[in-house]
């Protein structure tokens, strides 16, 4: 995609498609702002704000259009520059918020979410026997009318209970337990390992497109070793799973992980986990490494702003350059906000994490 920067600003552009048809030109001309939010732990969301008419009149235009912005309509948002646009979200309209203020034209805000929101509808209680977490994710996806793309989670569980939980609550809980993430793109649900071990998809630099970045390095909560304890009722013996320095899935190009940092600074920091049921050695080992890596990925957190980038996506690794040396390097993006405004242009806000320095 073309990239705007200080030297060569481009003209931001957008396209909105509703139920397969472009937004009418009359409506597009009234768009004030457009926002697309993505978070690895939440459904993707879009917000469209537009004025209702060119002049004050008794009959409003878009607010009363029950077909164009009907609840449940499929809305696709494309953003970019000039004619080079990329789809950021395909979701469903879930709400509209009109504004009536005496000294200005009425406004309408249209909101919606990607299809992950369907996994929030209703709470369920059900059991899964002799299945892997990836098998369970695939079944839940199919039941919600989604295509499943899952990566094998390896460990078979004798018994798992979904107890009065929404599907997304349950899946997120299972994903966190094994250092996985749940992502929905259009009609496809992905259940896969957290991607902080992957290569970067792009580089941001203060010399080019990075406008602001606020990193925070903290050893609070970091651990050098984690032990999970359980009980095997069949063998009648204790189960112990461990993870320690060196069990990071990646150090993201850094010199020292959070676990190594805290061990050097404060001696050994050990956490014992015994309040989560584990019945097999494989389950204990998997849980220990997942919990260890979840904690490790909180060593460095940061928030940034850059020129609008449709290729900057939550769940991906980026590289940041031009900072102080200890904060340069790879970051795992946890959330993005792509914001277009008719007056101020197109910016991308993001939050990211790193497990080393």
Q: Are residues 108 and 139 in the same domain?
A: no
Residue 319 included in any domain: no
Q: Are residues 19 and 96 in the same domain?
A: yes
From 280, 296, 312, the end of a domain falls on: 296
Q: How many other CB atoms are there within 10 angstroms of residue 33's CB atom? A: 15
Residue 243 included in any domain: yes
How many CA atoms lie less than 13 Å away from 92 in the CB half-sphere?
A: 11
Residue 182 included in any domain: yes
Q: Are residues 65 and 156 in the same domain?
A: no
Portion of the chain with pLDDT greater than 90, in percent: 82
Dist CA 91 CA 120 (whole Å): 14
Dist CA 219 CA 198 (whole Å): 24
Q: Are residues 259 and 339 in the same domain?
A: no
Average of per-residue pLDDT across 36-44: 96
Q: Are residues 113 and 30 in the same domain?
A: yes
**Between 8 and 313, residue with greater pLDDT:** 313
Q: Are residues 113 and 123 in the same domain?
A: no
Residue 245 included in any domain: yes
Q: How many other CB atoms are there within 10 angstroms of residue 63's CB atom? A: 19
Average of per-residue pLDDT across 6-20: 86
Q: What pLDDT shows up at residue 194?
A: 97
Dist CA 263 CA 265 (whole Å): 6
User: 């295509």: which residue's tokens?
Assistant: 147
In the structure, what pLDDT confidence band is assigned to residue 271 with cuts at 50, 70 and 90?
confident
Q: Which helix (H) or strand (E) holds 79?
A: strand 74-81
* Residue 13 structure tokens: 């552009």
Residue 32 included in any domain: yes
Q: What pLDDT shows up at residue 270?
A: 85
How many CA atoms lie less than 13 Å away from 43 in the CB half-sphere?
A: 23
Q: Are residues 100 and 158 in the same domain?
A: no
Residue 280 included in any domain: yes
Q: Are residues 133 and 152 in the same domain?
A: yes
Q: What pLDDT shows up at residue 65?
A: 86
From residue 343, alpha-carbon distances to 17, 31, 86, 96 in Å are 22, 11, 21, 23
Q: Are residues 58 and 124 in the same domain?
A: no
Are 269 and 223 within 8 A, CB to CB?
yes
Dist CA 32 CA 62 (whole Å): 14
Q: What pLDDT shows up at residue 2?
A: 56
Are 247 and 194 within 8 A, CB to CB?
no
Q: What is the pLDDT of residues 189-209, one digit of tens each?
A: 999 999 999 999 999 998 889
Radius of gyration in angstroms for the set of CA atoms belonging to the chain, rounded to a whole number: 23
- 22 in helix, strand or coil? strand
The residues facing 339 across adjacent strands are 35, 347
User: 């164009």: which residue's tokens?
Assistant: 68
Q: Are residues 70 and 85 in the same domain?
A: yes
Are 226 and 270 within 8 A, CB to CB?
yes
* Residue 297 structure tokens: 């990925």
* Residue 52 structure tokens: 């209702």
Q: Are residues 73 and 164 in the same domain?
A: no
pLDDT tops 80 at residue 53: no
Q: What pLDDT shows up at residue 231?
A: 85
Domain that holds residue 176: 119-195
pLDDT tops 90 at residue 269: no
In the structure, what pLDDT confidence band is assigned to residue 277 with cuts at 50, 70 and 90?
confident
User: 């008794």: which residue's tokens?
Assistant: 58
* Residue 51 structure tokens: 């004025």
Supply the pTM of this predicted model: 0.92
Domain count, the chain: 3
Q: What pLDDT shows up at residue 275?
A: 78
Dist CA 26 CA 53 (whole Å): 9
Q: What pLDDT shows up at residue 7?
A: 59
Burial of residue 83, with CB atoms counted within 10 A of its CB: 0-12 exposed, 13-18 middle, 19 or more buried: exposed
Q: What pLDDT shows up at residue 56?
A: 52
* Residue 290 structure tokens: 């997942």
Q: Are residues 90 and 145 in the same domain?
A: no
* Closest by CA position to 353, among listed 208, 254, 273: 254
CATH number at residue 160: 3.55.50.10
Residue 129 included in any domain: yes
Q: What is the pLDDT of residues 318-353, one digit of tens each?
A: 999 999 999 999 999 999 999 999 999 999 999 999
Interhelix angle 167-177/133-143, nearest 10 degrees: 160
From 159, 179, 195, the end of a domain falls on: 195
CATH number at residue 104: 2.40.10
Residue 61 included in any domain: yes
Contacts of residue 190, defined as CB under 8 A and 6 or more positions apart, other chains included, come to 149, 150, 181, 182, 183, 184
pLDDT tops 80 at residue 117: yes
Dist CA 22 CA 262 (whole Å): 54
- CA dihedral 100→105→106→112, nearest 10 degrees, is -130
């Amino acid at each position: 995609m073309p990239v705007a920067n200080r030297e060569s600003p481009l003209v931001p552009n957008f396209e909105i498609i509703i139920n397969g048809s472009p937004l009418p030109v009359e409506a597009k001309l009234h768009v004030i702002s457009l926002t697309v939010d993505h978070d690895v732990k939440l459904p993707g969301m879009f917000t469209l704000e537009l004025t209702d008419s060119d002049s004050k009149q008794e009959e409003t235009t878009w607010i009363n259009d029950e077909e164009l912005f009907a609840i449940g309509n499929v809305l696709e948002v494309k953003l970019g520059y000039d004619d080079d646009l990329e789809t950021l979200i395909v979701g469903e309209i879930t709400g509209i918020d009109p504004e009536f203020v005496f000294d200005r034209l009425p406004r309408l805000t249209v909101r919606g979410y990607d299809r992950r929101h369907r996994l929030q509808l209703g709470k369920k209680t059900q059991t899964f026997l002799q299945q892997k977490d990836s098998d369970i994710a695939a079944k839940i996806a199919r039941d919600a009318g989604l295509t499943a793309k899952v990566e094998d989670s390896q460990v078979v569980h004798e018994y798992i209970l979904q107890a009065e939980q929404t599907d997304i609550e349950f899946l997120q809980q299972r994903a966190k337990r094994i250092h996985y993430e749940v992502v929905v793109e259009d009609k496809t649900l992905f259940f896969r390992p957290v991607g902080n071990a992957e290569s970067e998809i792009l580089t941001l630099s203060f010399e080019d497109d990075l406008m602001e970045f606020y990193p925070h390095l903290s050893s609070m909560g970091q651990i050098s070793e984690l032990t999970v304890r359980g009980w095997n009722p069949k063998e009648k013996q204790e189960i112990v799973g461990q993870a320690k320095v060196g069990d990071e899935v990646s150090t993201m190009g850094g010199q020292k992980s959070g676990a190594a940092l805290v061990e050097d600074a404060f001696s050994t920091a050990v956490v014992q986990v015994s309040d989560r049921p584990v019945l097999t050695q494989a389950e204990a080992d998997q849980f220990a490494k997942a919990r260890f890596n979840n904690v490790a990925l909180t060593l460095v957190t940061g928030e940034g702003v850059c020129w609008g980038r449709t290729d900057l996506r939550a769940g991906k690794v980026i590289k940041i350059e031009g900072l102080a040396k200890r904060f340069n390097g790879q970051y795992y993006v946890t959330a993005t906000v792509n914001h277009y405004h008719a007056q101020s242009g197109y910016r991308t806000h993001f939050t990211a994490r790193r497990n080393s320095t």
